[in-house]
Amino acid sequence: MIKEQELDHLFRHQYGKMVSILTRIFGLSHIETIEDAVQDTFLNASLKWRKEIPENPEAWLTKAAKNRAIDLLRKIKTEHSRILNLSTGPSSIAFNQLFLEHEIEDSQLRMIFTACHPKLKPQDQIAFALKTIAGFSGKEIASALLLKESTVKKRLARARKTIKEKNLVFQLPKDKTFADRLHRVHEVIYLIFNEGFHSNQKEFLIRKDLCGEAIRLSKLILKKESYRTGSGYALFALLCFHASRLESKISEKGKIIDLKNQNRTLWFKPLIQLGKHALSKSEAYPEVSSYYFEAAIAQEHLDAKTFEETDWKKILVLYQNLNLLQETPFTSLNLAIVLLQLNENKKAIKILNSINPKDLEQRSYLYYGSKAEYHKNINEIPEAINCIEMALSMVNNAFEKKYFEEKKSMLKNKQSS
């Protein structure tokens, strides 16, 4: 019997591969049918595997998805002869070769760059990429992009319509649009990782399968020499640094452990070294990206032997540089948090007051959590409690809710003492 969590992990690992291979075989015009076929395959697997799991689940899923896609395409009477030729005869040899590892990787690269095609609207590209590459649901895409589900639904429908109307080709870019498309690809990988590292889902805070998928896709890009950039190496470094701390973020009892109280011996050193090597490689390229500053900040935290030894002044400079390069509500919020660590409370509150919490969408509770920290720093405990209560009214994740409840309890104890 397969557990739901195991099937979900397999789904994440296989979804993008299966959609990519089948799209290469049947064409982009059938993307919706292909996605339906893959979804049907997983639904079928979840029912059939209740009693017994096949010896090679991945091979079973790939074969089942391929057969399901052929069945669906036959039903709508499209490209009938092409399908028959692919299924039997000499061309079936080439067909089967598409399922070899290097061909699967090529298909996935085609898919991720096609999803970031310039003929698709920029806001549609990322939603479509998250759907086809990582198998995100509409709700998950909405969470990752800080949007309403209805908006995501419209974007996905518009992307599919554009693909058909513009007759987009499933291939790797070789023109002047490459740099912009690669930038989008990096952004998609970053968003996939973020949803894994700090999920907005109610039941999970960490989703290791998504973190692993993002790292795998990042490596896939770097394997191709002509696709290597400073941004790509810096992004890979950032993902390695964050992933190295996954085991220390949640206690055995299911409680969030903040950076200050994490067991640093649990941080995975091989990933840290891999990240440092990648960050060093990124410095050989002329461009400096937001990923570089984020990775450098993450490395500072990892290099500190204890939380008290953290070089907050250096981190402040890095955040200031990041904010100059890419000012967003989140970079401003993080800048304020660092200032609070340095007890620069007046500077911190000035930045916090400049942020509109609504701009943080589903993460707006983080704003109130930071503001509570400010009030605690200047010994305004009732105001700090009010801010925690605001955060609690907005937070969705059960782990984070528990974390804020404990913060509130500690503040109340401080108030009464």
Q: What's the confidence (pLDDT) of residue 151?
A: 92
pLDDT tens, residue by residue, 51-92: 777 888 877 877 777 777 777 667 655 554 554 455 444 444
Answer yes or no: is pLDDT of 154 > 60.
yes
pLDDT tens, residue by residue, 19-55: 888 888 878 888 888 888 888 888 888 788 877 778 8
Cα separation, 356 vs 360, whole angstroms: 8
Answer yes or no: is pLDDT of 94 > 70.
no
- Judge whether 32 lies within some domain: yes
Q: In b/e form, how buried is each residue of 328-355, taking b as 16+ CB within 10 angstroms?
A: ebbbbbbbbbbbbbeebbebbbebbeeb
- Average pLDDT over the chain, rounded to an integer: 86
- Residue where a domain terminates, one of 70, 99, 128: 99
- Judge whether 163 lies within some domain: no
pLDDT tens, residue by residue, 173-230: 887 888 888 998 999 899 889 888 887 666 777 888 788 889 989 999 999 998 999 9
Token pair listed for 147: 């949007």
Cα separation, 194 vs 172, whole angstroms: 26
By residue count, the chain amounts to 417
The whole domain housing 356 covers: 325-417
- Judge whether 128 lies within some domain: no
- Judge whether 38 lies within some domain: yes
For residues 381-388, average pLDDT? 95
Answer yes or no: is pLDDT of 96 > 50.
yes
Q: What's the confidence (pLDDT) of residue 365?
A: 94
Of 130-139, 336-345, 398-407, which range is least confident? 130-139
- Residue where a domain terminates, one of 80, 99, 118: 99
- Judge whether 6 lies within some domain: yes
pTM for the complete prediction? Answer: 0.84
| Nearest alpha-carbon partner for 229 in 269, 270, 184 | 184
- Judge whether 346 lies within some domain: yes
CB 203 within 8 A of CB 220: no
- How many beta carbons lie within 10 A of that of residue 86, not counting itself? 19
pLDDT tens, residue by residue, 110-153: 888 988 888 998 889 888 988 888 888 888 888 777 788 899 99
CB 69 within 8 A of CB 33: yes
Please report, for the domain that includes residue 352, its CATH number. Answer: 1.25.40
- Judge whether 258 lies within some domain: no
Cα separation, 178 vs 184, whole angstroms: 10
- Residue where a domain terminates, one of 67, 99, 131: 99
List alpha helices for 244-377, DSSP H: 269-282, 290-303, 312-325, 329-341, 345-354, 364-377
| Nearest alpha-carbon partner for 190 in 221, 165, 167 | 221
Domain count, the chain: 2
- Judge whether 333 lies within some domain: yes
Could you tell me how far CA 306 lies from the centroid of its own chain?
28
